[in-house]
Amino acid sequence: MKKSQNYMKSGLVVLLLCGGLFAGCAGEDSKETMAPEAGLGKAEQESAEADRQGQQGEDKSEKELEKLRFVDSWGEWHSMTVNPNVERHPYDWSCLTNIEDEIKYEGDERYSIRKGIDVSEHQGIIDWEKVSSDGYEFAMLRIGYRGYGTAGSLHVDAVFHENITGAKAAGLDVGVYFFSQAVNEEETLEEAALVLENLKGYELELPVVFDPERIRNDTARTDDVPGEQFTKNTVLFCEKMKEAGYQPMIYSNLVWEAFEYDMEQLADYPIWYADYEAAPQTPYRFTFWQYSEKGRVDGIGGAVDLNVQFCEKQ
């Protein structure tokens, strides 16, 4: 995706901070010695003490929650609490080699990877036969977008139909994504309708992706849209794709997973995760990983986004 201005594009490396590191800030001095309440009988005192013990247990659990520090693609560090109710990814990063976009995942008996790209009109005319010969097996194509200015007008990607025809003719598996700037459910439905209209007559091997984004270093119509609304929009779009017979998917990064999305509400949908560090920083599940925005691929002029799909071995 061509999003050089986007806060959404968060390349991300991990530094795990266990709860014990933070618990030390309180120390022993923070513990209070509770005396039985005056005027209470023994049963009431025991009940009150049980309540206190339960509260202390909750406080301890809060301290023991896993903390995570990560860096985005702009070099800014963030700290998050890992949600224990969200499914973790199963991958083993000791099997990953990622040197100058030459990526390999070897030695995991459960998973392998295959390589792909994502493109839009910004890549111009693409020689898809050369892309295929260069070892790429799938492509995520931008089908359309909403402008991030005040008008927020809808557009079909100028070369979407050429791209989907060329990619499929070259034998690549194809999915599509829509760059959203919807501020409410009504606009989300408009975006879904544009996607479904332009998919008529095509078969997809890969998902239809909802790609909601904030715009960095510029004013955008979504600047004041809270994460709760983005989550609602995302669920609505995904459900519309399911109703139409497509597999929905969500484009994300760790900034969004930590501070915008309600990840528990998105548990039913696969994730396309963007992170330009040597290995993904997210603890959460994902299926596709966008690992570079500066790739070079035969048949494409200029830089292109590179991706891998994690596939279960049969």
Question: Residues 275-311: pLDDT tens digits?
Answer: 999 999 999 999 999 999 999 999 999 999 999 999 9
Given this model, what pLDDT does residue 33 score? Answer: 26
Q: What residues contact 97, with CB distance under 8 A and at least 6 apart?
A: 103, 104, 105, 106
> pTM of the entire structure?
0.81
Mean pLDDT, residues 119-132 taken together: 98
Segment of 10-19, 38-47, 243-252 carrying the highest mean pLDDT: 243-252
Mean pLDDT, residues 136-165 taken together: 97
Mean pLDDT, residues 189-205 taken together: 98
**pLDDT value at 123 more than 80:** yes
What gap in Å lies between CA 109 and CA 280, rounded to an integer? 19
**pLDDT value at 61 more than 90:** no
Mean pLDDT, residues 259-269 taken together: 97
Mean pLDDT, residues 41-56 taken together: 47
- pLDDT above 70: percentage of residues in the chain: 80
**pLDDT value at 180 more than 50:** yes
**pLDDT value at 9 more than 50:** no
**pLDDT value at 37 more than 70:** no
